[in-house]
Amino acid sequence: MSTGRLTINLDAVVANWRALDAMTNCKTAAVIKADGYGLGSVNVAKALFKAGVRQFFIAVAEEAAPIRAELGPRPEINVFSGHMKGDTEAIRALNLTPMLNSVEQLTHHFETLPGHPFGIQLDTGMNRLGMEMQEWAAIAGLALDQNPTLVMSHLACADEPDHPMNPYQLANFRTMTDGIGVPRSLAATGGILLGPDYHFDLTRPGIGLYGCDPFTDANPVIALEFPVIQIRDVAAGEVVGYGNTWQAERDSRIATISGGYADGIIRHLSDKAIFYHGATPCKLVGRVSMDLMTVDVTDLAEVPKALSLVCAEQSVDDIARRAGTIGYEVLTQLGARYNRRIYSK
């Protein structure tokens, strides 16, 4: 093995979906955008479909083609970006349900695909996507007359349970949608954890399926290890890596491992990341380069053949905190060079 090995446990994805679904009394969909958060949307969708999921959400229409080819016509596939110009044929051919975000998208959809399913996305305060309150009030009657399949909004601060933005958006969503007679959706993973007031008719878990915060009880989904290419002894005072950013304070043993920022291990982890050999931590020293990283293995009792980054001792979110980012970014940055081992019963 000359590249890193990424183990993906699809059974854990399914278990996480079931756990989140069990927290609600409504329908539970699954978000598989960004190639299933970097883990392979087709494999994730297949596993979840087998478990009973019949509604998926993606970011853009192009993401639907391999999923539809694998799963056929049965699942509903919703597109968060709505009906963009240039997407009409894909929406028609792949039978997608765009979540229309503006009056312009609504008009475009009705003109180009009359009678085709659609949903509505509302802005309840995040100021990112969706129709604002006055805009929705002006066209709600027209839109509702065309029988949308879903009306949704998105919470900005659901990962902070006590944030005042959560009840503020909930109140706005109710003001905009109470009594419309159409299925409603407000909660992704964080919203599910906020409780029943946020669940409505459909929840849309994403990051929680993949084992990350804010679903702290999630089953770990991935493991990631890198092979050791070379071991060298470095005398006290010698330097390692680009820019001479690390200098040995003692006689040290350094392992060069196969992996780098081309594999999604961002440079901000330079001199910060911790790898593991079994339960023993080993510090990354020097800069993360494109294809290689150097790790201090001086204190190991044996010469390692591989070192682990995501394992029982360290989660995706642990790594994200060291890098000053979030688990979403760590997952979606995973590169294409890994030897991917898919685990599923």
Range of the domain at 263: 222-343
Distance, CA of 114 to CA of 116 (rounded, Å)? 6
Q: Cβ–Cβ contacts within 10 Å for residue 93, how many? A: 12
Inform me whether the pLDDT recorded for 2 exceeds 90.
no
- 226 and 206, same structural domain? no
- 114 and 83, same structural domain? yes
- Among residues 210, 241, 263, which one ends one of the domains? 210
Mean pLDDT, rounded, for 215-232: 98
Counting every residue written for the chain, the total comes to 345
- Among residues 148, 177, 210, which one ends one of the domains? 210
pTM > 0.75: yes or no:
yes
Mean pLDDT, rounded, for 311-315: 97
Report residue 233's pLDDT band, with 50, 70 and 90 as the boundaries.
Answer: very high
| Cβ–Cβ < 8 Å for 218, 207 | no
Greatest C-alpha distance within the chain: 76
- 126 and 96, same structural domain? yes
In three state form, how does the secondary structure of 227-282 look?
EEEEEEEECCCCEECHHHCEECCCCEEEEEEECCHHHCCCHHHCCCCEEEECCEEE
- Among residues 210, 242, 277, which one ends one of the domains? 210
Inform me whether the pLDDT recorded for 149 exceeds 70.
yes
- 262 and 135, same structural domain? no
Q: Is 327 helix (H, G, I), strand (E, B) or coil?
A: helix
Q: Is 15 left (phi over 0), alpha (psi -120 to 50) or beta?
A: alpha
Residues labelled as active-site residues = 33, 242
What are the pLDDT digits (tens) for 11-63? 999 999 999 999 999 999 999 999 999 999 999 999 999 999 999 999 999 99
Report residue 256's pLDDT band, with 50, 70 and 90 as the boundaries.
Answer: very high
- 232 and 185, same structural domain? no
Mean pLDDT, rounded, for 115-128: 97
Does residue 216 lie within any of the structural domains?
no
- 247 and 117, same structural domain? no
Inform me whether the pLDDT recorded for 153 exceeds 60.
yes
Report the mean per-residue pLDDT for the chain: 97
| Cβ–Cβ < 8 Å for 101, 132 | no
Report residue 172's pLDDT band, with 50, 70 and 90 as the boundaries.
Answer: very high
- 262 and 171, same structural domain? no
**CATH number (domain holding residue 75):** 3.20.20.10
Q: Is 160 helix (H, G, I), strand (E, B) or coil?
A: coil
For residue 221, which of 64, 330, 335 has the smallest C-alpha distance?
330
Report residue 267's pLDDT band, with 50, 70 and 90 as the boundaries.
Answer: very high
Does residue 278 lie within any of the structural domains?
yes
What are the pLDDT digits (tens) for 122-138? 999 999 999 999 999 99
Q: What percentage of the chain has pLDDT greater than the value 70?
A: 100
| Cβ–Cβ < 8 Å for 87, 135 | no
- 143 and 23, same structural domain? yes
Whole-number pLDDT of residue 111: 97
What are the pLDDT digits (tens) for 175-222? 999 999 999 999 999 999 999 999 999 999 999 999 999 999 999 999
**CATH number (domain holding residue 233):** 2.40.37.10
What are the pLDDT digits (tens) for 4-22? 999 999 999 999 999 999 9
Inform me whether the pLDDT recorded for 320 exceeds 90.
yes
Q: What percentage of the chain has pLDDT greater than the value 90?
A: 98
Number of structural domains the chain divides into: 2
Report residue 1's pLDDT band, with 50, 70 and 90 as the boundaries.
Answer: low
- 246 and 297, same structural domain? yes
- 162 and 307, same structural domain? no
- 227 and 117, same structural domain? no
Mean pLDDT, rounded, for 100-113: 97
Does residue 156 lie within any of the structural domains?
yes
Whole-number pLDDT of residue 19: 98
